[in-house]
Amino acid sequence: MNSSLAKRCSKIKLVITDVDGVLTDGGMYYTNKGDIMKRFFARDGMGVTLLKKKKILTLIITKEKTEMVRQWAKRMKIEKMYEGIIQKELILDNICKKFKVKPDEISYIGDDVNDIELLKKVGLAAVPNDAINEAKKNCQYKCKAVGGHGAFRELADLILLEKS
């Protein structure tokens, strides 16, 4: 890890993640009844747990409003979930005040157009390997893993490496 990235990682106190395309593969699975299901990767959940052990909080910001994501967040003991948020960057000040952190103490991982402005404003911006090109241009770390297959865990491990 280069020294600039290591310095960014060492400051992180809070990690924010998108859901679709980061914690999930972005696919939507439909049941015969028309219900939507999403697949979460167990190792990403362990990433949340490992961060928590080092007193690093995890938040979710998603444009969706779905019960299945609420249930996953509850199971993982996510500190706060912001749902139905289109312009994610607009709640950054609120998050900083509520959790008593500065933007450079926050890492955000996102993958699509509605993530770009928030990626630009945090201390450590990360994207899954399969993120859109514009998101990749606005990050300091591009995961080797794709969304829904360990990208969040990879970011968590990167941060924790500097905290050990």
pLDDT in tens, 121-142: 999 999 999 999 999 999 999 9
Strand stretches in 4-123, DSSP E: 14-17, 29-30, 36-37, 57-61, 80-82, 106-109
Residue 45 within any structural domain of the chain: yes
Tell whether 5 is covered by a domain. Answer: no
Q: How far apart are CA 118 and CA 138, in angstroms?
A: 10
pLDDT of residue 28: 85
Domain limits for position 118: 11-163
Residues β-bridged to residue 57? 14
What DSSP letter does each residue of 48-75 carry, written as one string?
Answer: HHHHHHTT-EEEEE-S---HHHHHHHHH
Give the burial class of 3: count Cβ atoms within 10 A of its Cβ; 0-12 exposed, 13-18 middle, 19 or more buried: exposed
Domain CATH number, residue 110: 3.40.50.1000
Tell me, yes or no, whether 2 lies in a domain.
Answer: no
Report which residue type is found at 6.
Answer: A
Instruction: Give the largest CA-CA distance in the chain.
Output: 52
Point out which residues pair with 2 in neighbouring strands: none
Q: CA Rg, the chain, in Å?
A: 15
User: What pTM was computed for the model?
Assistant: 0.95
Which of 17-21, 46-50, 68-72, 114-118 shows the lowest mean pLDDT across its residues?
68-72
pLDDT at 92: 98
In a domain, 93, yes or no: yes
User: Is 6 inside any structural domain?
Assistant: no
* Tally of domains in the chain: 1
Helix H or strand E segment including 124: strand 124-127
Mean pLDDT of the chain: 95
pLDDT score of 141? 98
Average pLDDT value for residue range 16-33: 93
The pLDDT, as a whole number, for residue 93 is: 97
Amino acid occupying residue 59: L
Are the CB atoms for 72 and 48 separated by under 8 Å? Answer: no
